Amino acid sequence: MRRGLLLFLLLTSFAVSAQRIVVPPYLQPGNTSSLSKEMKVVLWEVDSVAGNCKVEFVEGKSFEGATKITVSKITSQALTFGGRTSYLYRAPLTGLKLDADYTYRVSLGDQVITTATFRTRTKGNAVRFVAFGDMGAGTPQQAAISYQMHLQNPQFVLATGDIAYSYGLAREFKARFFPYYTTLEPSPDKGAPLMQSVPFYLFPGNHDLYGADLLKFPDGMALYYYSDGPMNAPVTEFTTEVKGPEDRIKAFKKASEGRFPKMNNFSFDVGNVHIAALDANSYVNPLDGALIEWLRRDIQSSKADWKVVTFHHPGFNSSKAHYDYQQMRLLSPVLEQLGVDLVINSHVHNYQRSRPLRFAPKLNEAGDRYVISPEGRVDGKFTLDEKFDGVNTTKADGIIYIVSGSGGAGLYDSPISNNPELWKHEPADNWVPFTVKLISDVHSFTLVDVIGKSLVLKQINLKGEVLDEIKMTK
Positions in the binding site for Fe ion (CB under 5 A): 162, 205-206, 347
User: How far apart are CB 134 and Fe ion at their closest, in Å?
Assistant: 6
Residue nearest to Fe ion (CB): 347
| CA dihedral sign of residues 110, 113, 118, 121 | negative
User: How far apart are CB 405 and Fe ion at their closest, in Å?
Assistant: 7
DSSP, residue by residue, 18-83: TPPEEEEEEEE--S--STTS--EEEEEEESS--SSEEEEEEESS-STT-S--EEPPPEEEEEEETT
Nearer to Fe ion, 90 or 347 (CB): 347
DSSP, residue by residue, 203-258: ---SGGGTT-BTTT-TT--THHHH------SPPPS--PPPBS-HHHHHHHHHHHTT
Nearer to Fe ion, 92 or 133 (CB): 133
The distance of Cα 222 from the centroid of its chain, to the nearest Å, equals: 14
Nearer to Fe ion, 162 or 298 (CB): 162
Nearer to Fe ion, 196 or 206 (CB): 206
User: How far apart are CB 205 and Fe ion at their closest, in Å?
Assistant: 4
Find the radius of gyration of the CA atoms of the chain: 23
d(CA 123, CA 83): 47
d(CA 155, CA 128): 6
Q: Which of 364, 380, 362, 313 is nearest to 133 (CA)?
A: 313
CA distances from 357 to 48, 54, 313, 380, 399 (A): 53, 51, 18, 12, 5
User: How far apart are CB 345 and Fe ion at their closest, in Å?
Assistant: 10
User: How far apart are CB 245 and Fe ion at their closest, in Å?
Assistant: 28
Nearer to Fe ion, 205 or 361 (CB): 205
Nearer to Fe ion, 23 or 328 (CB): 328
CA distances from 46 to 24, 52, 77, 469 (A): 8, 12, 11, 42
Nearer to Fe ion, 162 or 172 (CB): 162
User: How far apart are CB 210 and Fe ion at their closest, in Å?
Assistant: 10
Say if residue 427 is preceded by a cis peptide, omega within 30 of 0: yes
If you ran DSSP here, which 8-state letter would residue 410 be given? P
User: How far apart are CB 238 and Fe ion at their closest, in Å?
Assistant: 18
Phi, psi for 151 (deg, rounded to 5): -65, -25
315, amino acid identity: G
Q: Which of 466, 470, 448, 402 is nearest to 129 (CA)?
A: 448
Nearer to Fe ion, 206 or 272 (CB): 206
User: How far apart are CB 162 and Fe ion at their closest, in Å?
Assistant: 4
User: How far apart are CB 120 and Fe ion at their closest, in Å?
Assistant: 31
User: How far apart are CB 453 and Fe ion at their closest, in Å?
Assistant: 33
Specify the 3-state DSSP secondary structure of 349: coil
Nearer to Fe ion, 63 or 323 (CB): 323
Nearer to Fe ion, 179 or 205 (CB): 205
User: How far apart are CB 177 and Fe ion at their closest, in Å?
Assistant: 15
d(CA 324, CA 416): 17
d(CA 222, CA 173): 8
Nearer to Fe ion, 347 or 353 (CB): 347
Residues 143 and 189: beta-carbon distance below 8 Å: yes
DSSP, residue by residue, 112-127: EEEEEEEEPPPSSSEE
Nearer to Fe ion, 154 or 205 (CB): 205
For the chain, how many residues are written? Answer: 474
d(CA 288, CA 279): 11
Do the bridges between strand 266-270 and strand 200-202 make them parallel or antiparallel, or are there none, so unpaired?
A: unpaired
User: How far apart are CB 372 and Fe ion at their closest, in Å?
Assistant: 19
